[in-house]
A and B are shown apart, each in its own frame.
Chain A
Amino acid sequence: MEGGFDFAILIRNAPFLWGGMVLTLQLTGLAVAGGLALGLVLAVLRLSRIPFVPALVAGYVNFLRSMPLILAIFWFYTLIPKLTGQSVSSFYSVLIAFILFEAAYYSEIIRAGISSVRRGQIAAALALGLSNAQAMRYVVLPQAIRTMIPVLLTQSIVMLQDTSLVYVVGLRDFLTTADIVAGRDSRPVELYMFVALTFLVVCFSASRLVNRLRRRYAL
C-alpha cells in the first residue's frame, strides 16, 4: 500500500458514496416491507386448511430457500424483461427478486412464531366463545409477535447486508459505488475497509438494539 491510509479520498467521494448508501437503504426498506407482507400471507396460507394450498406454499418456500440469492437475482434480472416484454429498470427487477426471496424466509419465522403458541391457548380462547379469527387476533398473534419480532429484525439486518449482492448486476448500491471508486483511483484498501467498517458499526448497533428489545419484552 502506497503512501499510507488516504482519508481524503473518502471525503472527496462522499456524495457519490452517499448516493450508494441511499440506494442500499431504499432497497432494504422496500424489500423488508414487501417481504413481510408477502411472508405473513404465506405463513397464514401454510397454516390454513385449504386443500393443497399448504403444500404449494411449502414447495415455494423450500424451493427459494435452496437457491443462492445471487442466482435469484440473475433469474429476475434476465427474465422479468423477457416475461413482460418491456424493459424494467434493474432496480425493480432486483427489488422483486428480494421481496419474493425474503418472503420465503420471513414466512418461516412467522409460522414458527404462530406455532410456538401453546394449543391450550387456542382452546381457552374458543371456549370463551371467541371465533377463530378473534382467537388469532387477540390471543395467538399478540403472543407470537413477541417471539417473532426480534427474529424478524435480525433477518432484516441480514437482508441489509444481502443487498450488497446487487453488485453482480451493477446496480449502484453502497458497496458498488465504493468498488467503482476503488477501481478508478486504485485505492482498494481505503474503500473496502470503509465499507466494511460502516456495515460493522451499523449492523452491530442494530443487533445490540434488537437484543435489548428481546430482553425487555421477553415474556
Chain B
Amino acid sequence: MGSYRWNWPILLADPYYGWIVSGFGNTCLIAVLAWIIAFPLGSAIGIARTTELRPLRFAGTAYVEVFRNIPLLAQMFLWYFVVPELLPQDWGRWVKRDMPYPQFLTSVLCLGLYTASRVAEQVRSGLEAIPRGQHHAGLAMGLTPAQVYRYVRLPVAFRIIIPSLTSDFLGVFKNSSLALTIGVLELTSQARQIEEYTFAAFEAFATATLLYCAVTGIVILAMRQVERRTRIPGTIAIGTQ
C-alpha cells in the first residue's frame, strides 16, 4: 500500500462529484420505488398464504418459491432481455423502442417483484406467530374473517415484523446495485466508473461504502423510533436489532 497515491480531492472535481450525487440519487430512487411495489404486493401474498382458500395459498407459495430460488441477477436479465421477446409483438416493440428509462424501470420492477416475495414471507410468519385463540376470539365476536385480519391479526403482525421488514428494505437498497448490470448508473457503478477514469479506487469505493453505511444507520435508527411509537404497552419488543 506504500506506493498508493492518495487523491481525495478528485472526488470533488467535475464531473466526478456529480457522478456520485446522481448515482446516490438513483440508488435511493430505485430502492424507494421498488419498495412501493414490494410492500403492498408482498403483504397481499403473505396474507394469501394464511387464508383458508387453497388456490390462494398455492398461488402465494408458488410466487414466493419462484422468486426466491432464482438468482436476482438472472431475474434482472430475464426481465430485461427475455420478457420483451415473449410479449405480444406490439407490446414488445413498445417496451424495446418507446418505453422511457427502460433500464431504470426494468430494475425497479425486478427488484420490487423480488422483494415482494421476501415481504410475503415476513408477513406470513408474523401472522402465524399470533395465537389461534385471537382469531377465534375475533370470529366469536361476530367479526368476518376479513375483519379479523383487519382489526385483530394484521395490526399485531406488522408490529412484530418491523425489524425484519427493516432489513428487507435495507436489502432492496443494497440490491439496487444489481441494476448496474443492465446499465443503470447507480452508486456502485458510478464508483466503479470513477475508479476506471481516475484510478482513485480506494477513494471512490470508500465514498460509496460510507454512503451505504450512512443510509443503513439512518434507516435503522428511524425504524427503532417507529417501533417504539407503535409498541403495545406492556409487551416486550421482539428481536430489536
Contact = CB atoms under 8 A, between A and B. Distances in A.
Interface of A: 1, 63, 65-71, 74-75, 78-79, 82-83, 157, 161-162, 164-165, 167-168, 175, 179, 182, 188-189, 192-193, 195-196, 199-200, 203-204, 207
Given A1-B85, A67-B213, 12 more contacts: A66-B212, A66-B216, A71-B191, A71-B205, A71-B208, A71-B209, A71-B212, A74-B195, A78-B195, A82-B1, A192-B82, A196-B70
Q: State the 4 A-B residue pairs at the shortest beta-carbon distance, nearest first.
A: A66-B216, A203-B69, A161-B71, A68-B177
Contacts of A79: 201-202, 205
A68 B202 contact: no
Contact of B188 (A71, A161, A193): A71
A161 B170 contact: no
A126 B192 CA distance: 54
B73 interface: yes
A165 B188 contact: no
Interface of B: 1, 4, 65-66, 68-75, 77-78, 81-82, 85-86, 170, 174-178, 180-181, 188, 191-192, 195, 201-202, 205, 208-209, 212-213, 216-217
A165 B181 CA distance: 9
A204 B81 CA distance: 24
Contacts of B82: 188-189, 192-193
Given A63-B213, A66-B216, A82-B201, A1 B74 contact: no
Contacts of A192: 74, 77-78, 81-82
Contact of B70 (A1, A74, A161): A161
B207 to A, nearest CB: 11
A65 B71 CA distance: 19
B211 to A, nearest CB: 10
Contacts of B175: 68
Given A67-B212, A67-B213, A164 B192 contact: no
Contacts of B73: 164-165, 167, 175
Contacts of B217: 66
Nearest to A78: B201
Contacts of B192: 74
Is chain A's binding surface mostly helix, strand, loop or mixed? helix
A200 B174 contact: no
Nearest to B178: A70
Contacts of B77: 175, 179, 188, 192, 195
B4 A82 contact: yes
Contacts of B70: 161, 196, 199-200, 203
B205 A75 contact: yes
A68 B70 CA distance: 18
B209 A67 contact: yes
B75 A78 contact: no
A4 to B, nearest CB: 12
A179 to B, nearest CB: 7
A175 B81 CA distance: 14
Contacts of A162: 71
A71 B69 CA distance: 23
Contacts of A182: 81
A203 B72 CA distance: 13
B216 to A, nearest CB: 4
Contacts of A204: 65, 69
9 contacts: A69-B177, A75-B205, A78-B195, A78-B201, A83-B1, A167-B181, A188-B81, A196-B75, A196-B78
A192 B79 CA distance: 10
A68 B178 CA distance: 9
Contact of B69 (A66, A69, A199): A199
B74 A164 contact: yes
A64 to B, nearest CB: 10
B74 A70 contact: no
A174 B76 CA distance: 15
Given A63-B213, A82-B4, A200-B66, A68 B174 contact: yes
Contacts of A70: 177-178, 180, 188
A175 B74 contact: yes
A193 B85 CA distance: 12
Given A67-B212, A68-B174, A165-B73, A188 B205 contact: no
